[in-house]
Structure 1
């Protein structure tokens, strides 16, 4: 269990909350997070490599020479895999599926474990959607600095629900990524220096990723 201070828009303490999620045991924590990360990376992998077989490569409709009497080996097509510019045998095909499966309970356990392991890097703030009357990136950058995120540090901003002004103000910050609590994933949790979550987002995480489901 970790106790986190809730900061307001100005960076001042406005309360406290606890992050107490059901996580994996110490012996299996690293492995369950690794499995979830491997699944996420594999499922976003695209099978772009594609080689043509002798049926797909252009040309080769006519028999190069007659079957007998030339002294050369028999040949039925200039696009045979044995020929230059011919088809490829057992080459990579874009039909390959790299996706991996993982039980929902295991996925939720990995998410809770990854988030709980970053409790020291978690910054909890009040909902600030009402602070942005207009989508100004400068105001979000200044707010991140007030919350303790350095200019050369990356941050994952987690909100309960998507707000258009917040989204448009944060999308141009190269070192920051904005997601909703429903889109929580292991890669984003582990790939940043700081995790900035609003208090309603933490409540949403407890509701969605609780151990009871």
Structure 2
């Protein structure tokens, strides 16, 4: 069981929240989180890079000069990889970079990564409830009240994303907003600070507890 201090919109302590997630053993934690992170990055690759071999480059069907008697090196095609404009030797071809990982392992890695960021986590009560209209300046002021520097990358985790919150945060370069059900290892590890709505924390406990 882990206890977190809950802050309100003004940056004052408003109580405590607790959550309990099953995490990996200390000796295996780093390994399984690393595997999950590598898998996510690999699966994000398009794998569409492609170069032409000497058989695919247009032209080069005629032998450029006769085999002997010219004093020059032997050449059979102007599309040889040795020539400018020729084919590429062992160049990239379209491929699938995706890697597999068991569902239980993926969820265990996610819970472990999330729990490891406890010191950088700020739980907020009723996030955005006081935003009567879209106002980026008010969100920036709230982040400052919670002790977050202007140069820190922030991951904002919400249960539901209202229009006012979406419009107020989308123009802040270092703030990324996701729903609690879309939690992933890379975003959790990449951010300097995690701002979690109290109801989102309860949803994380409910969805990822098994």
TM-score (norm 1): 0.87
- Total equivalences in the alignment: 210
Judge which range, 39-48 or 176-185, deviates more: 39-48
Give, in angstroms, the shift of residue 157 of structure 1.
Answer: 0.7
The aligned counterpart of 1:161 is 160
Judge which range, 186-195 or 40-49, deviates more: 40-49
Deviation track 1:152-181 (CA, whole Å, cap 9, x = no partner) reads: 322211001222221221122122211111
Do structure 1's residue 103 and structure 2's residue 102 form an aligned pair?
A: yes
User: Secondary structure, in 3 states, of the residue corresponding to 1:4?
Assistant: strand
> 2-side partners of 1:196 and 1:118: how far apart?
11
The aligned counterpart of 2:209 is 210
Do structure 1's residue 184 and structure 2's residue 183 form an aligned pair?
A: yes
User: Secondary structure, in 3 states, of the residue corresponding to 1:27?
Assistant: helix
> 1-side partners of 2:126 and 2:57: how far apart?
58
The aligned counterpart of 2:14 is 14
Runs of 4+ in 1 over 6 A off after TM superposition: 66-74
Do structure 1's residue 196 and structure 2's residue 195 form an aligned pair?
A: yes
Instruction: Note the aligned Cα RMSD (angstroms).
Output: 2.4
- Cα 1:77–1:206 change in 2 (3 A) is same
Native 8 Å contact 2:19 2:202 kept in 1: no
The aligned counterpart of 2:25 is 25
> 2-side partners of 1:70 and 1:149: how far apart?
74
Deviation track 1:28-47 (CA, whole Å, cap 9, x = no partner) reads: 11111111111112222343
Structure 2 spans left out of the alignment, 5+ residues: none
> 2-side partners of 1:103 and 1:209: how far apart?
15
Native 8 Å contact 1:8 1:126 kept in 2: yes
> 1-side partners of 2:119 and 2:90: how far apart?
50
Native 8 Å contact 1:23 1:112 kept in 2: yes
The aligned counterpart of 2:41 is 41
- Cα 1:76–1:115 change in 2 (3 A) is same
Judge which range, 145-154 or 198-207, deviates more: 145-154
- Cα 1:81–1:193 change in 2 (3 A) is closer
- Cα 1:65–1:126 change in 2 (3 A) is same
User: Secondary structure, in 3 states, of the residue corresponding to 1:6?
Assistant: strand
- Cα 1:73–1:176 change in 2 (3 A) is closer
